[in-house]
Amino acid sequence: MRKLIVLKLGGSIITNKQEPLSFNRDVVLRIGGELKSIWPTPMIIVHGGGSFGHPIAEAYGIKKGYQKAEQLKGFVETVSAMRKLNDLVVSALNDVDLPVIGIPPSCTVTTNSGDIETCNFDPIFSALEIGLVPVMYGDAVFDRKLKFTILSGDALASYIAMRLKAKQLIFLVDVDGVYGFDRKTSQRFLIEELTEKIHMSLKYEPIEGDVTGGMFYKVEEALAAARHGIDVYIINGLVPGRVEAVIKGQKVVGTRVKVA
């Protein structure tokens, strides 16, 4: 699995978060075309919830766990919405001849107090063995203590990359990477190499409507994978060519996450 590439497609690039149940099909088609150029290199795709999963999960407080019977409707609706988004992503990727198959985390992953406890890798391995690309996603899942919760796509992507000892973990977002702030010039600047020390010195702005923590927790998951010797990048998935370039080892605009 040392050749494995794990890609996390942010909900902000595959949907319009300001428009419920919107899908940026053109973006997914273009990214799929870039990934097709490096297939059959083994890869696993994980995508976020964007305007499909987050609004429902937030409205019903799904991340906090089971507290009242009224939440059951929200849990089911969140699972249903994410499967619809996954179907759209899978359909678009298959339309550019990238052979992918959706694998729902609600049926394969169990958490304990929000942390992944078990993951059934059998369908993932079976897909990879015959050249299929598994497509998973952030989802509402069953939890040992909370009964149910939200599993973020970032956490899932990082977990898979670490468990399978992937070569690369790439987070695709709607900005060029992680930014710092120069107090002398009052200007933001792109951090090309982000270490844990730099991460802890940054002030991250919360993202309204994001139930999984935004950029801060994305970097936390990225650092966890980097500690396992995985090459981790946060790049702009809306800019053509960057996905293909970073996988091929070329220099791209973005943030590389390193341990030190």
Chain segment 90-102, per-residue pLDDT in tens: 999 999 999 999 9
What's the pLDDT at 212?
55
DSSP secondary structure of 16-63: -TTSTT---HHHHHHHHHHHHTTTTS-EEEEE--HHHHHHHHHHHTGG
CA dihedral 37, 243, 170, 16 (to 10 degrees): -120
Q: Which one-letter DSSP state was computed for residue 148?
A: E
Q: pLDDT band for position 187 (50/70/90)?
A: confident
Domains identified in the chain and CATH numbers = 5-257 (3.40.1160.10)
Q: 207 pLDDT exceeds 80? A: no
Rg over CA atoms, the chain:
17
φ and ψ of 29, to 5 deg: -60, -45
Chain segment 54-100, per-residue pLDDT in tens: 899 999 999 999 999 999 999 999 999 999 999 999 999 999 999 99
Chain segment 108-158, per-residue pLDDT in tens: 999 999 999 999 999 999 999 999 999 999 999 999 999 999 999 999 999
What's the pLDDT at 17?
82
